[in-house]
Amino acid sequence: MKGPNSPGRDNDEFALYTQGPPGTAADPLASLTEAARLADHYGYTGMLLFYNHRSLEPWLLASALIHCTPRLVPLIALQPYAVPPTAAAKMAATLAKLYGRRIDINLIAGADPAELAQIGDTTEHDARYARATEYVQVLRNALESDEPFSHAGEHYRFDRLFLNAFLEPGLRPRVLVAGSSPAGRETAAAVADVTVTHPDPVGTFSRDFAATAPPGAGIGIRIGVLARPTAEQAWNEARARYPIDRAAIVRTRLKQKSPSEWTRRLAVLAAGAETYDEVYWTGAFTSGASSFPLLVGDYEQVGAYLGQYHAAGVRTVLAAGVNTADDYRHADQVFSRFRDGRQPSAFSKLRE
């Protein structure tokens, strides 16, 4: 069930999210404030706030983020086992009404198997996505209904529930869903505004993921960007930041048996080649320091490659690996072209 004003594929606006800093910083508030102000300054749509057992609570981080920026939208990683849908609806509505700012949702139905074991959640992979679908249906009912609603599902049951969580369409969350596995794509088709993946190299991505994206959902990718004035500078920085040794290569090979669809796929890509199309690099993933592919090159090369993803239908990017003020400054040479509405055809073509 999509919202009546779901952004979806009809909205051609480019949405760019950055990632929040890890919650392990000595001064997490200062770290979040600095990162959020950089993202806001460079015109990012929002900031992804992670959820796992080691991170700080993303709903509380969202409140701090709103306080320190005038526009940035919190993108909250929401795990159904952690927060009931009624509580999530109340928190989203409360923050939106207090601050007049939308709160977006990054639905994470899958999780680290070790974390699931710690809480005794034995729900199978596909069943977690089925639960997540129903979760979003309840969440949306609460946010879109100004009168009591009932729900009778496999995981949640409510009888004439009224939460006073109604939001006007402009304040309702965009829901992003990881859509790599068949179960994830089914959930994305049912409830997502944007279906997100770690993309394959653009040729494969265009033929496979983009061509079969769920109708009515926008297409998003989570990918790293490391661009510099020259390709040599970019590659020197990439290899210094993400060093690869023999042990890292062995660990990456083992990830080909990961329960995560996109971890498995990236591990297979890394085994096949370190670099694709001169720009798409699996080395950051192989190093073990990241969970995403990285685009490496000069501004024109990286811009052209992102332009090809844009031409394949991508309108939402979760930019990874953009952490420091210097990273933001360089990445802006690429992303400002999309944000300003310049068409991908304006970019230089990839070098033959």
For range 263-276, the mean pLDDT: 94
- DSSP string for residues in 167-231: --GGGSPPEEEE--SHHHHHHHHHH-SEEEE-PPPHHHHHHTTGGGPPTT-EEEEEEEEEEESSH
Can you give the pLDDT at residue 261? 84
Q: What is the CATH number of domain 1-197?
A: 3.20.20.30
Q: Which two tokens stand for residue 283?
A: 């080395």
Question: For 33-67, what is each residue's pLDDT tens digit?
Answer: 999 999 999 999 999 999 888 889 999 999 999 99
Q: Identify the residue whose tokens are 């490496």.
A: 296
Contact in structure between 289 and 320 (CB atoms under 8 Å): no
Can you give the pLDDT at residue 348? 36
pLDDT at 342 exceeding the cut of 80: no
Domain ranges of the chain: 1-197, 221-304+324-352
The pTM of the full predicted model, rounded to 2 decimals, is 0.90
Cα separation of 203 and 321, whole Å? 23
C-alpha 103 chain-centroid distance: 14
* Residue 52 CB coordination number (10 Å): 14
Looking at residue 55, its amino acid is S
Can you give the pLDDT at residue 8? 36
Question: For 71-112, what is each residue's pLDDT tens digit?
Answer: 999 999 999 999 999 999 999 999 999 999 999 999 998 767
Question: For 187-236, what is each residue's pLDDT tens digit?
Answer: 999 999 999 999 999 999 999 999 988 888 899 999 999 999 999 999 99
